[in-house]
Amino acid sequence: MTVMKPLLENVSFAIVGSGGAGAITAGAILLEAAGKAGWYGVLVRSVGPQIRGGESASLVRLSTGPAENMTKDFDVLVAIDWKNSDRFIGDMPVTNSGLVVSDPKNGAVPAAITEAGTDVADCPLNAMAKDIPGGRENMIAAGIVAQLIGLPIDALMQVVETKLARKGEAAILSSRACIEAGMAQASTYSQSYPLKPVNPPTNKRWLATGNEMVGLGALRGGVRFAAAYPITPATEVLEYLAPSLASIGGALVQAEDELSSINMIIGASYGGRPSITATSGPGLALMMESLGLAAAAEVPIVVVDVMRCGPSTGIATKSEQSDLNIAIYGFHGDAPHVVVAPNSVGDCLFTTQWAVHMAETLQAPVIVLSDQSLGQALVLMNRPADVAFMAKRKVYEPVEGQDYQRYAMTADCISPMAIPGQTGGQYTADGLTHTVRGTPSSKRSDQKEQMDKRAAKIEQFDFGQHWGHVEGTGDTVILTWGSLTGPAREAIGELTAQGDDVRLISLRQISPFPVQALQQALTGAARILVLEQTHSGQFYRHIRSYIDLPGEVRQFNREGPYLIGPDEIATQIRDWKTA
Amino acid sequence: MNAPKFKASTYKSDIEPVWCPGCGDFHVLLSITKALAELGRPPEDIAVVSGIGCSSRIPAYTNCYGFHGVHGRSLALSAGLKVARPDLTVMVMSGDGDGFSIGGNHFLHACRRNVDMTYVVMDNRVYGMTKGQPSPTTESDWDSALSPGGTGLRAFHPLVIALASGANFVAREFSGNIKATTRTLVEAVNHPGFSFVEILSPCVTFRPDEKEWKNTVHKAQVEETDDPARAARRIMTDDGMNTGILYRGRRPPYKAKVSDEIGDIAPLEAAFEV
């Protein structure tokens, strides 16, 4: 007898296996197939330091509506093997009602899982794969998950056929056989976790990581040159840009270090090409001196910092928001610049495109603070909106009988910039204090005039409505930024369902600080929870250096690698209100 | 032959150099402007890039586009500029501290990368701007306040390093020999790929002994070669005062470049569709 299961709005599953077992591939195929079926979702990888042989897991959450962050626990866990799984198994609890699928041949299910009383289904993955010519355990695992969550095989095969097109018909047939075998096996289980079907999307979903969206945002904004030094977790930005820039007539150069990459983009931008680089904390630290040069010489550049756990080498593969201070205050001297932060994977595109526009308009360095959890999450989302922000530099136009002054004082404090090749525009860009012509000077009047000008051009800039994001009107406020915006929103959804009205304020404009906009957004706030993934409360201190927060204020901050989740945020608010 | 379109003075700005009277860099500036006149490109099509130090002040003394950047990074900045703007003639100006100490790693990789540009290092074997400390090319026993009794370190050999790292053109000149230096600079700019020219340029203030260089430099007794092994043997055994073009290689220059045309990004967006 078929028992009708209640349909779920969300389902989470994990596929684990040692590096090279294909756990990530299986998760990615399932995610993409879910997109074809009209669902939303996110895939987070847990990958060990070794390319093959290290631990590896794909953690996937599927949802009937937009969702970018993982749930706390999982409904289904399929283990291709348990090698090295002790390194991460504590981070992926399975719900009491969940199911663990494991091949007895690979040994016992780790105690950390069975202790919770979770059901275990034995499945001879290894033997099943051997029975199918060219069979792979990871594709059987995909079939098991598809059956348990109600993902149609047609959607799955559409993805497999595209991915394996180059490998030929035999590989596709073999994958189908594996998926079917997995589905047949799972149909014998009493458990199932069917996700509520949705109408097929009218617009195609996008499947992308935050790092890719940063790259595309740069291209949409008009970037033509990138310099690259590999660093986890920013490398994918650069690997995305390398072929993409080449395809539109731009170029990426691999540099010998970050001291070089930052200077390469300054050189390219001086030559008139909008330029970008991406790095993480250690690389940003190396770039600081030259970022100051870009500020002093007024050269537009964008530096994306995909933050990871620090200090020093820290935990390269895990997220944190602790580069806030260096991004704002790391420059020596007074060096006005802009720091912005995307608040979702899709927003990585918008914020980077906006950053390119601002750098070019302001002739100043702009730092984009993304982080590992945004950068490396693979998300099924709605197509990000087209926005009009483009690189548009105020360029020198010769005036008969008038000598060119590169750093001339103007109403908006932005001086027309000559581009090499322009007759009569020759000047020397300089990190030395200079006159309006660019001639080195140690006069106090020149230092004051140019400092005032560089500060004013940024202070006077209209950041418009993009300074931040406000949702809801409650007198309890969650004030946060960056990758914690998603979890905060989800926590608020949970609280709202229970009758609470909580306001979300997320800052995109980190520096210069949006004093008036934030003060206005905080009107009527009685309780403010300042939320951030840092050990020392950098975000809170930054806010407090500009404004007094109204009402009662609490901080919820923690270092990485354990991400602050929606449930923890909701608990903070609930406990506070009932206290 | 047509009369030259430009004179050396076309390339000289009206800014007064900060150098000490008698500094070799005055002569280098003169040779550069003469070479540029001979090359005949208008000043707006030339970019002169430098780092920090006495020699790195040169960009503002020319009438070209200039960039006086941070200490040691001029080669990186120039590589970005040249890839982004392959139509420009890019000249990079440095000194022995800027180029071989703080910028040493970039020197190796600029030679390897072989971007089409000319790297001129004015070598006076001392940090002059900071008033007399030993640089990588300073003799090991040279006494100074910072390293009393000398560093005890072997002097760096720029030409050997350039050759070993893949520079496509390697030469040494003496600042006082303006004609020869001008000719070598013209050859260096015209040669495709990364050209390295070391110019011995005396610091009369902190190394008055270098005033003797005008008597000790001598034209190399051998012809230039395109064989790196022969060039290496010659340079390893010279007395450091040989001048002239040592090596002219045949490696193709770095290829990537940014074009003026902007391609369509629609196909890149379509790639994200499920």
**Could you give the CA distance from residue A151 to residue A302 in angstroms, rounded to a whole number?**
42
Measured between beta carbons, the chain A residues lying within 8 angstroms of B84 are: 224-225, 251, 267-269, 271-273, 275
> What pLDDT is recorded for position B4?
63
- Put simply, the answer to whether A253 touches B77 (Cβ < 8 Å) is no
ipTM for the whole complex: 0.98
**Mean pLDDT confidence for A175-198:** 97
Strand partners, A278: A304
What kind of architecture, by CATH, is found in domain A465-578? 3-Layer(aba) Sandwich (3.40)
**Could you give the CA distance from residue B200 to residue B215 in angstroms, rounded to a whole number?**
13
**Could you give the CA distance from residue A420 to residue A351 in angstroms, rounded to a whole number?**
29
> What pLDDT is recorded for position A118?
87
Q: Say if residue A1's pLDDT is above 50.
A: no
Q: A395-437: per-residue pLDDT in tens?
A: 999 998 899 999 999 999 999 999 999 999 999 999 999 999 9
Closest chain A residue by Cα to residue B92: A267
For an interface test with A, which of B258, B259, B269 has the most A Cβ atoms less than 10 Å from its Cβ?
Answer: B258
* Higher-confidence position of A95 and B271: B271
Helix (H) or strand (E) holding A496: helix A485-497
> What pLDDT is recorded for position A86?
75
**Mean pLDDT confidence for A177-186:** 98
Block residue for tokens 């996110």: A42
Q: Say if residue B156's pLDDT is above 90.
A: yes
Q: Say if residue A201's pLDDT is above 80.
A: no
Domain boundaries, chain A: 10-186, 207-381, 394-461, 465-578
Question: What global pTM score does this model have?
Answer: 0.96
**Structural domains of chain B, count:** 1
Cβ–Cβ under 8 Å, residues B123 and B87: no
Long-range contacts of A198-204 (CB under 8 A, 24+ apart): A198/A37, A198/A38, A198/A39, A198/A64, A199/A38, A200/A37, A200/A38, A201/A38, A203/A382, A203/A383, A204/A383, A204/B273, A204/B274
Q: A486-528: per-residue pLDDT in tens?
A: 999 999 999 999 999 999 999 999 999 999 999 999 999 999 9
Task: Report if residue B3 sits inside a domain.
Answer: no
Cβ–Cβ under 8 Å, residues A489 and A344: no
Q: A324-341: per-residue pLDDT in tens?
A: 999 999 999 999 999 999
What kind of architecture, by CATH, is found in domain A10-186? 3-Layer(aba) Sandwich (3.40)
Whether residue B77 lies within 8 A of chain A, CB to CB, comes out as yes
Q: Do domains A10-186 and A207-381 have the same CATH topology?
A: no
- Put simply, the answer to whether A248 touches B78 (Cβ < 8 Å) is no
For an interface test with B, which of A428, A430, A435, A442 has the most B Cβ atoms less than 10 Å from its Cβ?
Answer: A428
The candidate with the shortest Cα–Cα distance to A531, out of A493, A574, A575, A482, is: A482
Instruction: Provide the edge-to-edge strand list for the sheet that holds B117-123.
Output: A428-430, B65-68, B46-50, B89-95, B117-123, B194-200, B169-174, B242-248, B218-219
Cβ–Cβ under 8 Å, residues A9 and A349: no
> What pLDDT is recorded for position A48?
61
Distance from the Cα of B241 to chain A's closest Cα (Å) equals 31
Closest chain A residue by Cα to residue B107: A256
Question: How far is residue A326 from each of residues A280, A322, A537, measured CA to CA in Å?
Answer: 12, 8, 14
Cβ–Cβ under 8 Å, residues A485 and A343: yes
Q: How many CA atoms lie within 13 A of A391 on its CB side?
A: 27
Q: A273-293: per-residue pLDDT in tens?
A: 999 999 999 999 999 999 999
Closest chain B residue by Cα to residue A39: B274
pLDDT band of residue B189 (cuts 50, 70, 90) is very high
Task: Report if residue B162 sits inside a domain.
Answer: yes
Cβ–Cβ under 8 Å, residues A346 and A381: yes
DSSP category for residue B127: B
Q: Say if residue A204's pLDDT is above 90.
A: no
Could you give the percent of chain B with pLDDT greater than 90? 95
Q: A15-39: per-residue pLDDT in tens?
A: 999 878 899 999 999 999 999 999 9
Query: B residues 209-228 near A, CB within 8 Å?
Result: none
Superfamily of A207-381 according to CATH = Thiamin diphosphate (ThDP)-binding fold, Pyr/PP domains (3.40.50.970)
Helix (H) or strand (E) holding B65: strand B65-68
Task: Report if residue B128 sits inside a domain.
Answer: yes
Q: A434-477: per-residue pLDDT in tens?
A: 999 999 999 999 999 999 999 999 999 999 999 999 999 999 99
Cβ–Cβ under 8 Å, residues A42 and A377: yes
Task: Report if residue B1 sits inside a domain.
Answer: no
Task: Report if residue B2 sits inside a domain.
Answer: no
- Put simply, the answer to whether B44 touches A264 (Cβ < 8 Å) is no
**Mean pLDDT confidence for A85-106:** 84
Amino acid (one-letter) located at A148? L
pLDDT band of residue B12 (cuts 50, 70, 90) is very high
Domain limits for position B28: 8-270
Block residue for tokens 């740069």: A218
- Put simply, the answer to whether B258 touches A272 (Cβ < 8 Å) is no
CATH number of the domain where residue B99 is located: 3.40.50.970
Q: A43-55: per-residue pLDDT in tens?
A: 998 766 555 556 6
